[in-house]
Amino acid sequence: MESNEIIYCLKKIVAPYVQNEPAFENFSRETDFIKDLEINSANLVDIVLDVEDEFNIAIENEAMDNMLTVNDAVKIIKRKQEEG
Amino acid sequence: MSRRVVITGLGVAAPNGVGIGNFENAIREGKTGIRFQQELKDLNFSCQVAGKPEISQEILNNYFTPLQLRGLNSSGIVYGMIAGVDAWRDAGLDISGKESVDWNSGIIFGTGILGVDKFREAIHLIDEGKTRRLGSTSVIQTMASGISAFLNTRLGCGNQVTTNSSACTTGTEAVLMAYERIKTGKAVRMLAGSCGDSGPYIWGGFDAMRILPQKYNDNPGGACRPMSATAAGFVPASGAGALVLEDLESATQRGATIYAEVLGGHINSGGQRNGGSMTAPNIEAVQRCIKVALKEAAVDPKEIDVINGHLTATAMDATEIRNWQQALGWGGSEFPIINSLKGMTGHCLSAAGSIECVAAVLQLKHNFIFGNVNAEDLHPEIEQLVGRDRIPTRTIEKQVNILAKASFGFGDVNAVALFKRPG
């Protein structure tokens, strides 16, 4: 899957968790889930579960801890898809 | 200095009416909220009728954010949020903004057990080795204090925020705990209430104890018969009630509607001694609770117009009436009028006390005494104790000045509260 396709899906997944709407309008590779979107850190585990379901992959705990920005998420999803 | 405490807001999600207007109409008309439950039949329950508030998706969207609705599977939280948020709004109070904390307001919102359906989900996932699939919603929906925590997401209270639990006494206990906090000047206003989940995992244990009616599966409306000669056990139910209690001075200053004054009350236990046990009340404790409540509220027994009893539709109903009679020191035609809400709602367990306190306050505010449903065939012992005319089967339009509300619970615990008509 192409990066921009993944970003498009990610934007839909995180939408319900976002607490800073203006930052969400500028959703890009550099967007930080907690610092920019002000997502409650407790909800990051839910986002990971939603990502797993959407892309049909499993994300281990270490990878989860490094998933701070959209770019991190894209990299992890791509790697997992390639490992297939 | 002791503060006077009044009620300035109400909210309810009851089996026979969600929202104060619907609920008031329902109790005036004797409308039942007890329905046949296919789910209970499919699971081979002996009692297949129950009371469950009817909540549409549209209602849910008014009380929860889309994010909160994701994976929401705790009916007690749903009922509690509807009742609690309604009461707060009814009192004319702001649903707090993100930045401000109201240090003078608190929440005491009780429950028996919360989020059993959510807990069941979690148990299945854990047993399958998929613990990480629980996500973040399992804890907040199954911790007992989940309901006060959910409410405070909306309210932004900075005073005491807690959840009490004392079986079927829970709701009335919450009201009295909130009353104490305001009376002693520790808070200016408190949201007091309680909620209880619906469903087979809540009600199954009672079905197993064989204390629920088994012969009314084809006549749900007739199943719950408080004070009746044919009372066959309580009908399991669920829901939530909520009341905003407020310092009289604060309520007056901000021009709030005053529904009633809380005069006081008492909470005690029979110690599971002298006839009291896990499931039966110590009669001495019940009578003592009534007497001390009157003393604390400075109410003479003759001033009581209405007793809204616990009266669950079991063999204990007559015992309860005798306790009232002995505690108050008289009987016969002078006796206060007695009613029980449970004929219409069933026994809402941990939510019963708060829903019934809401019903009590509505009668004081709007000058009526709701009739007893299914009590036409009055229990002969009750008739002998207080007389038939003390147990009206239809709603009476009448000014009520002082009402006594009692709730009793498993574990031999009791609570009695005294409410007075405003002004």
Determine the pLDDT at residue B330: 74
Of B13, B11, B84, B16, the C-alpha closest to B50 is B16
Residue among B180, B185, B89, B80 nearest B140 (CA): B80
Q: What are phi and psi of B162, to 5 degrees?
A: -150, 175
B1: burial class by Cβ within 10 Å (0-12, 13-18, 19+)?
Answer: exposed
SS3 content of chain A, % helix, strand, coil (to 5): 65, 0, 35
**CB-closest option in A16, A42, A61 to B70:** A16
3-state helix, strand, coil in chain B (%, to 5): 40, 20, 40
| Orientation of helix A70-83 relative to helix A44-55, angle to 10° | 40
| Residue B253 near chain A (CB below 8 Å) | no
Position A65 confidence tier, pLDDT thresholds 50, 70, 90:
confident
Q: What is the pLDDT of residues B82-98, one digit of tens each?
A: 999 999 999 999 886 66
Q: Which long-range contacts (CB under 8 A, 24 or more apart) does B24-30 make?
A: B24/B362, B24/B366, B26/B344, B27/B341, B27/B344, B27/B359, B27/B362, B27/B370, B27/B395, B28/B368, B28/B370, B28/B395, B29/B395, B30/B343, B30/B344, B30/B370, B30/B371, B30/B373, B30/B394, B30/B395
For residue A16, pLDDT beyond 80 = yes
| DSSP element (H, E) containing B127 | helix B116-127
Amino acid B390: pLDDT: 95
Partner A contacted by B130 (CB < 8 A): no
Q: What is the pLDDT of residues B227-270, one digit of tens each?
A: 999 999 999 999 999 999 999 999 999 999 999 999 999 999 99
| A49 and chain B in contact, CB less than 8 A | yes
DSSP state of B64: S
Segment (H or E) for B141: helix B137-142
Confidence (pLDDT) at B334: 80
- What pLDDT shows up at residue B331? 57
pLDDT at A83: 85
Average pLDDT, chain A: 93
Taking the CA atoms of B346, B63, B59 and B198 in sequence, report the sign of the dihedral they define.
negative
Contact B199, B239 (CB under 8 A): no
Q: Which H helix or E strand runs over B419?
A: strand B413-420
Q: Where are the alpha helices (DSSP H) in B241-282?
A: 248-253
| Chain A residue numbers touching B138 (CB-CB < 8 A) | none
Compute, in degrees rounded to 10, the torsion defined by CA atoms B423, B341, B198, B24: -50
Minimum Cα–Cα distance from A47: chain B residue: B135
Amino acid at B52: K
To the nearest 10°, report the CA torsion of B351, B316, B213, B411.
Answer: 50
Residue in chain B lying closest to A59 (CA)? B132
Spatial separation of the C-alpha atoms in residues B369 and B10, rounded to whole Å:
18
On whether any CB of chain B is under 8 Å from the CB of A58, the answer is: no
Residue-wise pLDDT tens digits, B358-373: 999 999 999 999 999 9
Q: Select the more confidently predicted residue: A39 or B96.
A: A39
Residue of B66, B67, B133 lying closest to A49 (CB–CB)? B133
Put simply, whether B215 touches A (Cβ < 8 Å) is no
Using the beta-carbon criterion (under 8 Å), do B135 and A45 form an inter-chain contact? yes
Residues in chain B: 423
Residue A5 neighbours by CB under 8 Å, 6+ apart: none
The tokens for B333 are 């035609």
A16/B132 touch (CB, cutoff 8 Å), yes or no = no
Is the distance from CB of B100 to CB of B186 less than 8 angstroms?
A: no
The pLDDT score that the predictor gives to residue B95 is 80
Using an 8 Å Cβ cutoff, are B371 and B216 in contact?
A: no
Closest A-chain CA to B66 = A16
Residues of B in contact with A42 (CB under 8 A): 136
A38 touches chain B (CB under 8 A): no
Q: Which residues of B touch A51 (CB under 8 A)?
A: none
Dist CA B336 CA B390 (whole Å): 7
Asked if B135 is an interface residue toward chain A (Cβ–Cβ < 8 A), one would say yes
Ranges of residues in chain B with a pLDDT under 50 are none
Q: How many Å lie between the alpha carbon of A61 and the closest alpha carbon of chain B? A: 9
The answer to whether the CB atoms of A46 and B132 lie below 8 A apart is: no
Is residue B397 left, alpha or beta, with left meaning phi > 0 and alpha meaning psi from -120 to 50?
A: beta
Interchain contact A16–B (C-beta under 8 A): yes
The answer to whether A16 contacts B67, with C-beta atoms less than 8 Å apart, is yes
Interchain CB distance below 8 Å, B67 and A42: no
| Alpha helix stretches (DSSP H) within B156-212 | 170-183, 200-208
> Which chain A positions have a beta carbon within 8 Å of B66's beta carbon?
16
Residue A45 contacts B where some CB pair is shorter than 8 Å = yes
Judged by CB atoms closer than 8 Å, whether chains meet at B67 and A49 is answered as no
pLDDT of residue B182: 98
> Residue B421: CA atoms inside 13 Å, Cβ hemisphere, count?
16
- Run of H or E residues at B40: helix B38-42
Q: What torsion do the CA atoms of B124, B128, B131, B135 make, to the nearest 10 degrees? A: -60
Instruction: Give the 3-state DSSP-derived string for A46-82, with helices as H, strands as E and coil as C.
Output: HHHHHHHHHHCCCCCHHHHHCCCEHHHHHHHHHHHHH
Is the pTM higher than 0.90? The answer reads: yes
Give dist(CA B256, CA B7) in Å, integer: 9
Q: Does B271 touch chain A (CB under 8 A)?
A: no
CB–CB contact A45 B66 (8 Å): no
Q: What is the reported pLDDT for A64?
A: 84
